[in-house]
Structure 1
Amino acid sequence: MGFYDYSVTDAQGNEFSLENYKGKVVLVVNTATGCGFTPHYKDIEQMYEQFHEHGFEVLDIPCNQFAGQTPGTDEEIHEFCQLHYNTKFPQMKKADVNGENQLPVFKFLKEQKGFEGFGFGPAAVAMNVMLKKIDKNYKNNPDIKWNFTKFVVDREGNVVARFEPTEKMEKVAACVADLI
């Protein structure tokens, strides 16, 4: 199966086929409203405004699996994002990105681009320290490690990049710009 063979549920409870994204560059991101990385919404919205008319889409999947940082309903999450970040891209229904109940598309994404580390800098060190306490072997599996992990999918449905939340958003935007 490929990226376009999957579907997700939108915030209103309707099935949304990823086939709708054929021919587009897509940023897939698991999001949270109460996370230190939540300000990434601002950068994601800026990318959406800059590139949307050139065939760029955001697949925003709110997730409450990481320290319970997305506790609200789908409606509350949407209102938060519009109020604080003026988001215009659609949000999907809150879902799991790891484990038994993970969305199948996340299993696919992780098979295509596994975890390669958090990089360098204070945020990377903090993430490494925190995750070692939770799972000493966290580096040895492709699971999503935290909120705002991003995957970039090209116009042909190929997963071309995975960015951990510690990665600078400028690098994510540059990757998208190269594909536009």
Structure 2
Amino acid sequence: SNSFCTLLEKILRRSFLLRAMADVTAKAKVPNPATVHDFVVVNNKKQPVDMDQFKGQALLIMNVASQCGYTQKGYTAATELYNRYKDKGFTVLGFPCNQFGSQEPGSNEEIEQFACTRFKAEFPLMDKVDVNGDKANPLWDFMKKEQTGILGTTSVKWNFTSFLVAPDGKVVKRYSPGTSAADIEKDLKPILPKPE
């Protein structure tokens, strides 16, 4: 009966794990989120990422795609900034998105491999998301409303739209695709956390 019990335990544990995995959804942790720290997102290994962990850091959050005209410029700018400031309280979060011209069709693994080999991108990549529409990721919905686009439009226009987030979690700026690292850096430097 001992082996039966362990088998049962294994089955139960497995179903619990599957259930736990199934519950990995991006969501707001509070009814009226005030900052990006009020959200949970999902990384490209399907694990929950509490945005709380980025308190005190500046962030650049960007929707990425592997087959876009902006791929080279977007990844290059993000990687350059990440490498320059990652030890100074800054990180980049890349959210793959296939909503624009179906330019991100690959699996999470393929996307990561592409980013790492082609651009030496070492910043965290998330699970693939929608950034517009009914199924839009809640964090993206929040950021779009905090920093609207041209003429107050909220929708994300294309791949490599990015949002700069201050260490307190406030969304300070939206950038259109193709924005240079130098232009983002001008806004990033003043908001970097002060060295202790």
- What TM-score, normalized by structure 1, do the two folds share? 0.85
Q: Count how many residue pairs are aligned between Structure 1 and Structure 2.
A: 158
Q: Does 1:67 align with 2:79?
A: no
Q: Does the alignment pair 1:163 with 2:196?
A: no
Distance 2:43 2:66 in 1: 17
C-alpha displacement at 1:167, in angstroms? 2.9
CA distance in 2, matches of 1:169, 1:147: 16
| Kept after mapping to 1: 8 A contact 2:130/2:137 | yes
With over 3 angstroms needed to count, the CA separation of the structure-2 counterparts of 1:174 and 1:140, relative to structure 1, is closer
Give yes or no for contact 2:40–2:51 (8 Å, CA) kept in 1: yes
How big is the shift at 1:141? 2.6
Paired with 1:55 and 1:77, the residues of 2 have a C-alpha distance of 26
SS of the equivalent of 1:59 reads strand
The structure that has the greater radius of gyration is 2
**Which of 66, 70, 75 pairs up with 1:33?**
66
Identity over the aligned pairs, expressed in percent?
A: 32
- Aligned partner of 1:24 among 30, 33, 57: 57
Give the drift of 1:175.
1.3
Partner of 1:179: 191
The Cα of 1:179 is off from its aligned counterpart by 1.5
Return 5+ residue gaps in structure 1 as ranges. Answer: 117-138
Equivalence map 1:6-155=2 (5 Å): 6-39=39-72, 40-116=74-150, 141-155=153-167
- Distance in 1 of aligned mates of 2:38 and 2:152: 28
3-state SS, counterpart of residue 23 of structure 1: coil
8 Å contact kept, 2:162–2:174: yes
Task: Tell which has more relative contact order, 1 or 2 (C-alpha 8 A, sep 6+).
Answer: 1
**2:59 match: secondary structure:** strand
Distance across 1 between alignment mates of 2:122 and 2:56: 20
